[in-house]
């Protein structure tokens, strides 16, 4: 193929789509489930809100830094290419290895199954495992087709689902306001079906408090994914930083408002014990429609997250292939759509295959463990900014404000948060599994490098 006809990435994404990717990658189903755990760890509604605020502060500090990463490396792969140029090939390969074999593929499996389960509830169907897996597979395949058509199609799906999520959280907040204007207190709420927290669970210790910060911090993750599509964003050195900062600010506001609504609608002990928090909260005001409305919200949120994985992650595989770290085929673009078709298909086929082979339960622990490692790479990327600044590399138009306070806040907060995961025995086991999986990736990297040398 001549140079004139070689396809290239198309810069078709503006600020709206970039911000939609940030919102969609962060806001998943966690905000409808995680607050129960955080509240139990905090011991009071006030401290729970403080935990979410601290997590938001750390995330905002990271966002200010990741915005500079995106501005310095406004190309496909974004953060992962930053690791490649800041530190070297090995961390870039290991990040891509983790995304392909565990993080993003596992998230696709788990989140698609979760979305399919709630789709069944929404439709009033009592689906078994086979029907749920079939619906999840169909959803992944459908989203893949959308993204294979072109980046703007996947981006519009992401933007619309992101808007829907924000509207849902705003509506949840409005229910809390409605309850206050009606003069109702959380004590008036109907009891939930879940188990109530014990007195010991409501007595926080320092270790439990730190574990709560870790839980909120992971719920804020995902703002880095817009850097992965940097090669398809218009004026990326300005658009990507603005999208990251604006997106994280909106998420912090949504999370704090949603948690306030939970505590306004339900007694604190019921928040900590609820197994279906959003449905219980909505049920205090709209008892007849609560189950269906919550299922709709969870279904759209889940499939929005699934779309985010198929929209952004294949660009990482594409960029790594262009660097010679992944198979060459993944570094090719389709001549009509301009998207990395082989990379999208690989992600899709791998996810659907694992969905039927391993299922959500088996993938859950591996994903939990490697999400721990995911944050290690964020720490490396933010820390790498100190290296490039010390080297005197040309600075982009956007630079992290109030330097070096934001990176220090993020690095300390993220390291403490990751350390806190070892305080929970179940999460500790998953984190150690994630570390072990990275060591497997190191072995694969050097084996691949040795094979490449012997075949030259």
Tens of pLDDT, residue by residue over 226-244, are 999 999 999 999 999 999 9
Numbers of helices and strands, H then E, in the chain: 17, 0
pTM, two decimal places? 0.90
Q: At what angle do helices 45-72 and 359-391 cross, to 10 degrees?
A: 60
Tokens coding 397: 């138009």
Query: In this structure, what token pair is assigned to residue 223?
Result: 């703002």
Which range, of 111-120, 157-166, 282-291, 436-445, averages the lowest pLDDT?
A: 282-291
Q: What's the pLDDT score for residue 368? A: 64
Which range among 183-192, 251-260, 271-280, 420-429 has the greatest average pLDDT? 251-260
- Contact between 335 and 182 under an 8 Å Cβ cutoff? The reply is no
Q: What is the DSSP string of 105-132?
A: HHHHHHHHHHHHHHHHHHHT----HHHH
In whole angstroms, how far apart are CA 257 and each of 53, 166, 231?
11, 11, 34
Q: Domain 12-448: give its CATH code.
A: 1.20.1740.10
Residue 187 pLDDT > 60:
no
User: How confident is the model over 367-387, as pLDDT tens digits?
Assistant: 666 677 788 899 999 999 999
Where along the chain do its domains lie? 12-448
**Paired tokens of 235:** 């004026």
Residues 369, 438: Cα–Cα separation, whole Å: 10
Q: Burial of 253 by CB count in 10 Å (0-12 exposed, 13-18 middle, 19+ buried)?
A: middle
Q: Which residue has the higher pLDDT, 455 or 168?
A: 168
What pLDDT score was predicted for residue 16? 96
Cα–Cα distances in angstroms (integers) from residue 430 to residues 113, 370, 424, 436, in the given order: 20, 8, 10, 10
- Contact (Cβ atoms closer than 8 angstroms) between residue 233 and residue 18: yes
- pLDDT band of 48, cuts 50, 70, 90: very high
CA 55 to chain centre: 15
Are 39 and 271 in contact, with CB atoms under 8 Å apart?
A: yes
Residues above pLDDT 90, as percent of the chain? 59
């Amino acid at each position: 193929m001549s140079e004139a006809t070689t396809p290239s990435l198309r810069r078709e994404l503006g600020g709206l789509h970039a911000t939609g990717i940030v919102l969609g990658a962060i806001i998943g189903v966690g905000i409808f489930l995680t607050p129960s755990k955080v509240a139990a760890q905090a011991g009071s509604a006030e401290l729970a809100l403080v935990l979410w605020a601290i997590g938001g502060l750390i995330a905002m500090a990271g966002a200010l830094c990741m915005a500079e990463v995106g501005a310095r490396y406004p190309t496909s792969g974004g953060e992962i290419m930053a690791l490649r140029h800041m530190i070297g090939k090995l961390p870039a390969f290991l990040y891509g290895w983790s995304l392909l074999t565990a993080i993003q593929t596992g998230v696709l499996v788990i989140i698609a199954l979760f979305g399919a389960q709630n789709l069944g509830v929404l439709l009033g169907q009592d689906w078994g495992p086979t029907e749920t897996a079939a619906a999840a597979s169909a959803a992944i395949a459908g989203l893949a087709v959308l993204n294979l058509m072109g980046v703007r199609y996947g981006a519009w799906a992401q933007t619309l689902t992101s808007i829907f999520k924000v509207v849902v959280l705003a509506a949840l907040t409005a229910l809390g306001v409605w309850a206050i204007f009606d003069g109702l207190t959380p004590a008036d709420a109907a009891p939930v079906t879940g188990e109530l927290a014990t007195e010991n669970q409501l007595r926080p210790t320092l270790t439990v408090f730190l574990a709560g910060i870790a839980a909120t911090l992971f719920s804020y993750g995902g703002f880095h994914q817009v850097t992965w599509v940097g090669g398809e964003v218009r004026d990326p050195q300005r658009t990507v930083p603005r999208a990251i900062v604006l997106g994280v600010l909106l998420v912090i506001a949504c999370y704090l408002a949603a948690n306030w609504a939970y505590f306004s609608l339900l007694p604190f002990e019921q928040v900590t014990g609820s197994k279906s928090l959003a449905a219980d909260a909505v049920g205090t005001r709209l008892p007849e429609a609560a189950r269906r409305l919550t299922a709709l919200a969870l279904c759209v949120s889940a499939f929005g997250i699934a779309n985010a994985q198929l929209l952004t992650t294949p660009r990482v595989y594409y960029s790594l292939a262009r660097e010679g770290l992944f198979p060459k085929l993944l570094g090719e673009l389709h001549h009509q759509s301009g998207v990395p078709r082989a990379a999208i298909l690989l992600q899709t086929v791998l996810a659907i295959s694992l969905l039927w082979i391993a299922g959500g339960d088996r993938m859950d622990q591996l994903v939990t463990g490697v999400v721990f490692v995911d944050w290690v790479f964020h720490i490396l990327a933010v820390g790498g900014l100190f290296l490039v600044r010390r080297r005197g590399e040309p600075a982009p138009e956007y630079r992290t404000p109030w330097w070096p306070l934001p990176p220090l806040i993020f690095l300390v907060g993220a390291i403490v948060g990751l350390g806190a995961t070892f305080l929970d025995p179940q999460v500790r086991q998953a984190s150690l599994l994630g570390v072990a999986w990275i060591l497997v990736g190191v072995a694969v990297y050097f084996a691949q490098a040795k094979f490449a040398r012997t075949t030259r």
